[in-house]
Amino acid sequence: MISFNLEGVRFSYTDATNDLIVDIGKWSVNPGEKIFLYGPSGCGKSTFLNIISGMLEASEGKVEVLGKRLDQMSPRQRDRFRAHHIGYVFQQFNLIPYLDAVANIQLARYFYKGNDPIVIRQEIEELLFTLNVSSSDWYKPAQKLSIGQQQRIAIARAFINKPEILIADEPTSSLDGDNREKFMSLLTALVAKNHTTLIFVSHDKTLSKSFDRSEAFSEITKVGAE
């Protein structure tokens, strides 16, 4: 099933048409494809990711994700859909600061399945282990961990429900060079293992080498094209 299929999608934060942020003719992504999206600050990348994950509602157009029309869903239905099918890694402020790693990940499971008493702690611990988070850090409040550790826990949280799609919005921008490399190799390994469709946004084009397709945001949206 095709991961994304967008047609005639327009979005503005206000009704004024001159404030159009996103204007897409057609855009589609196949299952398991890894897309690298780049563009200057303020061009609308985060807005776009919020639309394709259903956090924002398109002003018009078709937003089809895994064969389902997000544009025809209520906000609640979209939230539910996202919890089941899409993992999201944000630029920063990923985690609830006073909860430890395991609790942060459990919370994502809670949104997926409701108050499931059989929260599989072992599954969480295995994932943290895979992501090189040392066991002595599993039960520390997130705010006491380094940014690099927090970002790895954020990937674990995004992956715990085995989403078909992973969206990452500049997840490496607060990491130094060494941590950025490690983050990218952990991410690409997990994505490859799970055949996850990946939409990755960054302005750092040197990261684009591990992707199937690299697109400037200005190529897919008509805003500011002339």
Q: How many chain residues touch ligand ATP (CB under 6 A)?
A: 10
Does position 43 interact with ligand ATP (CB under 6 A)? The reply is yes
The answer to whether 21 contacts ligand ATP (rule: CB under 6 A) is yes
- Among residues 5, 9, 23, 44, the one that binds ligand ATP under rule CB under 6 A: 44
Q: Which stretch, 34-42, 125-133, 136-144, 184-192, contacts ligand ATP (CB under 6 A)?
A: 34-42
Helix (H, G, I), strand (E, B) or coil at 172: coil
Rounded least distance, CB 150 to Mg ion, Å: 18
Nearer to Mg ion, 121 or 205 (CB): 205
Long-range contacts, 53-56 (Cβ 8 Å, 24+): 53/82, 53/86, 53/88, 53/167, 54/78, 54/79, 54/81, 54/82, 54/86, 55/82, 56/11
Nearest distance from residue 22's CB to Mg ion, in Å?
A: 13
Nearest CA-CA partner of 34 in 208, 217, 216, 154 = 208
Host H or E run for residue 35: strand 34-38
Other Cβ atoms within 10 Å of 140 Cβ, number: 12
The stretch among 41-49, 79-87, 111-119, 125-133 that binds ligand ATP (CB under 6 A) is 41-49
Could you tell which of ligand ATP, Mg ion, none binds residue 109, using a CB distance below 5 to 8 A set by kind?
Answer: none
Binding residues vs ligand ATP (CB under 6 A) = 13, 21, 39, 41-47
